Structure 1
Amino acid sequence: PEGLTVLLTQRALHLAHHPGQISFPGGKQEEQDKDLIDTALREAWEEIGLPRQNCQVIGVMPEHRTITGFCITAVVAIVEPEFDIIIDSNEVSDTFEVPLAFLLDTNNYITEHFHRGPLTNPVHFIPWQNRMIWGATAALLRNLASIFTDNN
């Protein structure tokens, strides 16, 4: 794709949590991580071979809580694209890029409302080529689109 893109992964099918789903590189904070930015950079290196020196962190998104009980803090970075993606097949089955302009256009989102107990939650879906981005990943991207829209 031309212009700025967002790099996403497809999780390995054998994982216990969210197998096969589309996600950002990332994972749980470990004791040796200085902070959540350090966690994000370490996980990106482990999962897809993204060197820290290729990342210019520009911010941290507001905390996002999923309906399944996970708490996600997304770290936003501009990545120098000159690196070879090396997939850790224990965690990731594939990587792909989506144009940022496509993701910032909220007309590309489908929102459904799901009931879980007494709560009704909006769940976003983003069809992209032969894939469906949804759940927490789509929610984080929708939040990013809102931030861009609010700041323009």
Structure 2
Amino acid sequence: MSSSVGAGPGPKTWSIRFLVALLLIVAGIGWIAWYYTFVRPDPTAFPPVEGKPKAIADLGLWNYAIGFGAFMVGLALSAHPSTPFGRGRGVVIGMLGCFLAGLLWICTFYVFSDDLSALWVLNDLGQWNLVVGIAFMAVGFTFATRWE
């Protein structure tokens, strides 16, 4: 029998925590994409039309809070040693990725703040774009707490 270095029982890649984190990340992205493309009323339509389904459209900006909230909680859950992002290089990649995503989100908002109409999602959020960028950085700090 031949044995290779590092063979043997190790941390599982597909833990329950990792699957829940992936589900939350995908659900958050899906919620935002679904709301923006199908539910959100078109702001350029005249006369204004209501979004459908009405119960979801009435939530307004809370839809972004739901989507980004699920996404950020999913990322924060993935910063655990039982997931690939919570150990080894995954921690550094997750931390730097979140910091850079937050910085890029805020810089993009500031550069195009005079006319956000061409930028999907950013055009609806207005000043709340700062909260999204800072939330990305906060999730980056959850990864930083796992760095050894």
State the TM-score, normalizing by the size of structure 1.
0.25
Higher Cα Rg, which structure: 2
TM-score normalised per structure 2: 0.26
More helix by share: 2
Structure with the bigger percentage of strand: 1
